């Protein structure tokens, strides 16, 4: 069964600092990987996704993530945090075969201080 682990339920950074949100997956077959963001009182919005075309994926709002097969990781980064980045971030995994369930991690709340 597929699974996703997000390290850290809360991450705090200062405005302008590097953002690093960690995601590891377990899989015996190549996965598709996603990062979604949830702003307060809103639904989830896709930030970026990995579909095997390129290991470094760029998304919206300056975020990017790198797929590392050897480490089974898909960490999300942003060089310089902005106050508007404060939100909850979810990593998710799916597969091509059949109708694929999207399995989510438990989420990481990003807190940005001035």
Partner 1 sequence: EAQVTQNPRYLITVTGKKLTVTCSQNMNHEYMSWYRQDPGLGLRQIYYSMNVEVTDKGDVPEGYKVSRKEKRNFPLILESPSPNQTSLYFCASSKSGRGPDEQFFGPGTRLTVL
Residue (98 or 114) nearer to partner 1, CB:
98
User: In whole angstroms, what is the distance from residue 76 CA to residue 34 CA?
Assistant: 10
User: In whole angstroms, what is the distance from residue 41 CA to residue 74 CA?
Assistant: 26
**x-or-dash pattern for partner 1, window 7-46, by CB under 8 A?**
--x----------------------x-x-x----xxxxxx
Residue (101 or 113) nearer to partner 1, CB:
101
- Looking at residues 41 to 100 of the shown chain, list those that interact with partner 1 (rule: CB under 8 A): 41-46, 49, 51, 90, 94-100
CA neighbor of 2 nearest in space, from 25, 32, 23: 25
Residues 6+ apart with CB under 8 A from 40: 87
Which residues contact partner 1 (rule: CB under 8 A)?
9, 32, 34, 36, 41-46, 49, 51, 90, 94-102, 104-107
């Amino acid at each position: 069964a597929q699974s996703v682990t997000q390290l850290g339920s809360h991450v705090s950074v200062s405005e302008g600092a590097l953002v690093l949100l960690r995601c590891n997956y377990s899989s015996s077959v190549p996965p598709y990987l996603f990062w979604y963001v949830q702003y307060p009182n809103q639904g989830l919005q896709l930030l970026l996704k990995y579909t095997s075309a390129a290991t470094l994926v760029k998304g919206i709002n300056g975020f990017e993530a790198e797929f590392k097969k050897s480490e089974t990781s898909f960490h999300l980064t942003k060089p310089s945090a902005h106050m508007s980045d404060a939100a909850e971030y979810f990593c998710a995994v799916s597969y091509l075969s059949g109708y694929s369930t999207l399995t989510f991690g438990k989420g990481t709340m990003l807190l940005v201080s001035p």
